[in-house]
Structure 1
Amino acid sequence: MYQAFYNFSKKPFKLNADIEFFYESAEHKRAKLYLNYGLSQGEGFVIVTGAPGMGKTLLIKELCENLKLKNNVVFGLIVSSQLGAHDILRVLAETFAIQYEDNKAALLNKLQRFFREKAKEGKRVVLFVDEAQNLPKESLEELRMLLNFEIEPNVFFQVFLIGQEELGRRLYAEDMKQVKQRVTATYHLKALTEEESTNYIIYRLTKADWHDNPQITSAAFEAIYQFTRGVPRLINTFCDRLLLYGFLEELTVIDLKDAQKVFKDFVEESTANAPKKTAIANKKGNSSSEEYPDLNKRIESLEHKLDELMQVVGKEKALLRKAILIQLDIEEMPEIHKE
């Protein structure tokens, strides 16, 4: 809708990991250096962690694009979803188009033969596992055992594990020592700074042939950073909605008040869709806390989020006072923190 209004050649803030929009911030440059170092080692696990929406998948896609230019690397990508130990082996075989029998011993033999064949061709095998925080311990152990094929001369198999922060915590558990000992490089991806956030938005707009229409004021950029905390996926979501609002209001300039209005809409939507904290009595007179334990957990989680959001209100007020650009009533606008 807003693409035609602003004469964009494409949608600048899509949520999917589109390699065309990969923005190499200082943080992503550091991450790539660590990943390339790990790749150069040709062995063991390489770990990439980060909170949801930080751009982990896009970073790995960009690395894979570079690997396509190399003739000595064969790589595959698995998106983990609670894959068991035997399942991870089957999916691994399917990823590399290896014909196998549904027998673990035969499957392992096929994989080992595949690694040897690639080694004879002067190639090494790299596996990327996205959402690796979902992998059970047994599956991680199975991948570790596959790394033991490296003890054979010139046989190289390497695994990149990409996941949320939980993955990093799991690897430091007492019962994961053997896995942790095979880690050759690790990096934790952090959010963008305020300057990077602004540059990220401009970069994506430019990719869509933006020519300063709409104009976006510095106060609006600052507000976007405050609302999204520099998380790329949240920036995409917010800016997409902001441009839609600009189209509906026929704006050629997007200012702080417009960003505040869109943020307020997000808050109202979240509040409207949040579960209500009401006590539902059952026949025995018990409250919903006993009859609906899952509902209670959701309510507690919501209350915790609201507490966090209210703490941000003070920061937002200070920001507006300092800007002295426009006075808005934001007493009813707590910060939202969601994926």
Structure 2
Amino acid sequence: MKPVTPTETAEVFGDTPDVRLLWQSEQVKAIYADIILALNERTPLLKIIADAGTGKTLLCRKLFFSLKAHASRYEVDLLPYPAIDARELKTRLTGLNNTRHSIILIDEAQAVSNDALLVISKHLAKTDNLSLVLFGQPLLESRLANANLARLSEIVQKCYHLRALTREETEQYIQARLALAGFTPEDDWLNTEVIESIYSLSHGVPRVINTLMRRSAVIASQSGAAGIELAHLQQASNTLELQYV
């Protein structure tokens, strides 16, 4: 059995959005494929709604790099942090190349100001060569429903919801990440009981799964264990003040 290695575990269960670590669940595949189809049809406004930690930033980066690879067809701009004022955004929009399909991706879009969203809606209304893709938490939906942003609701749009992982998906996610670190199912690094507990503690949220795996690996390594045991997971969860459900 390959021993517990905190360094390798930290690399594959890190929170930095590395597109190489994107796990292609059936849900992610379906959403991604439909987004590409919608963009090919030049749908003006796309919204991807997800709770914090469920992978929307990773999906956003994946989409960005995929579109960038087709530079002759798309002009792509990524705003990873929504701290952009309306004036700066207007300047960016005005400078877009009209010979290509322009696509703007905004992560954490629930924090974008109303003024900036209104600037976007004006540009979307007067061109068919621009698509806006908003990645945000559920607050984004309620904000866009505000009467002050009624113009945005009139624009042709599609909405996707990225949910947390199921119990089965949680196991597949963990095994896929472990495989990237060189582990195989035969290493028996985690038993079914530990995986059940990880799912119960994390509610299937990848960011929480990652944190539990990193901390449990450190504790297991320090104790000289060959794999993660329930006691290691419980100790890790105590530091996060997580509760079983």
Same fold flag (TM > 0.5): yes
In structure 2, the residue matched to 1:173 is 146
Identify if the C-alpha distance between structure 1 residues 226 and 41 changes in structure 2 by more than 3 Å, giving closer, same or farther. same
Q: Which residue of 2 aligns with 1:234?
A: 208
- Which of these two proteins has the greater Rg computed from alpha carbons? 1
2:142 is the alignment partner of 1:160: no
| 1:33-55 deviation line (CA, Å, top 9, x unaligned) | 33123212214111111111110
Q: CA deviation at 1:73?
A: 1.1
Q: Distance in 2 between matches of 1:63 and 1:158?
A: 13
Question: Are the aligned partners of 2:46 and 2:159 in contact in 1 as well (CA < 8 Å)?
Answer: yes
TM-score (norm 1): 0.65
Q: 1:149 to 1:174 in 2, by over 3 A?
A: closer
Aligned residues of 1:19 and 1:58 also touching (Cα < 8 A): yes
Alignment of 1:75-90 (within 5 A): 75-90=76-91
Q: Contact 2:4–2:227 at 8 Å: present in 1 too?
A: no
Structure 1 alignment gaps of length 5 or more: 94-107, 268-308, 316-339
Q: Distance in 2 between matches of 1:183 and 1:160?
A: 12
Deviations 1:63-120 (A, max 9, x none): 2232233231121101233432113224x36xxxxxxxxxxxxxx4xx3xx433xx2x
**Contact kept? 2:82, 2:107, Cα under 8 Å:** no
Q: State the alpha-carbon separation in 1 of the partners of residues 7 and 138 from structure 2.
A: 39
Higher relative contact order (CA 8 A, sep 6+): 2
Q: How far did residue 150 of structure 1 move? A: 1.5
Q: TM-score, normalised by structure 2?
A: 0.89
Determine which of 111, 115, 137 is the counterpart of 2:97: 115
Deviation at 1:131, TM superposition (A): 1.2
- Answering whether residue 62 of structure 2 is matched by residue 62 of structure 1, we say yes
Q: Distance in 2 between matches of 1:129 and 1:253?
A: 40
- Preserved contact between residue 49 and residue 167 of structure 1 (Cα < 8 Å): yes
Root-mean-square deviation (CA), in Å? 2.5
User: CA 1:7/1:244 → structure 2, altered by over 3 Å: closer, same or farther?
Assistant: closer
Superposition pairs for residues 10-159 of structure 1, below 5 Å? 11-70=11-70, 71-90=72-91, 92=92, 108=94, 111=95, 114-116=96-98, 119=99, 123-150=100-127, 156-159=129-132
Is the CA contact (8 Å cut-off) linking 1:50 and 1:163 kept in structure 2?
Answer: yes
Output the CA distance in 2 between the equivalents of 1:7 and 1:137. 43
Any idea what SS the aligned residue of 1:253 has? Answer: coil
Asked if structure 2 preserves the Cα contact closer than 8 Å seen for 1:172 and 1:180, the reply is yes
User: 1:6/1:55 Cα in 2 relative to 1: closer, same or farther (>3 Å)?
Assistant: closer
SS at match of 1:254: coil
Asked if the contact 1:47/1:183 (under 8 Å) is kept, the reply is no
Unaligned runs of 5+ in 2: none
Return the letter of the residue paired with 2:75: V
Taking structure 1 as reference, are residues 215 and 39 closer, same or farther at Cα in structure 2, changes over 3 Å only?
same
Deviations 1:309-328, CA, capped at 9 Å, x for gaps: 7xx65x4xxxxxxxxxxxxx
Q: Does 1:192 align with 2:162?
A: no
- The number of aligned residues is 242
Query: 1:166-206, CA deviations, whole angstroms, 9 ceiling, x for partnerless residues?
Result: 11111122332210221421111110001101110110110
CA distance in structure 2 between the partners assigned to 1:7 and 1:85 by the alignment: 43
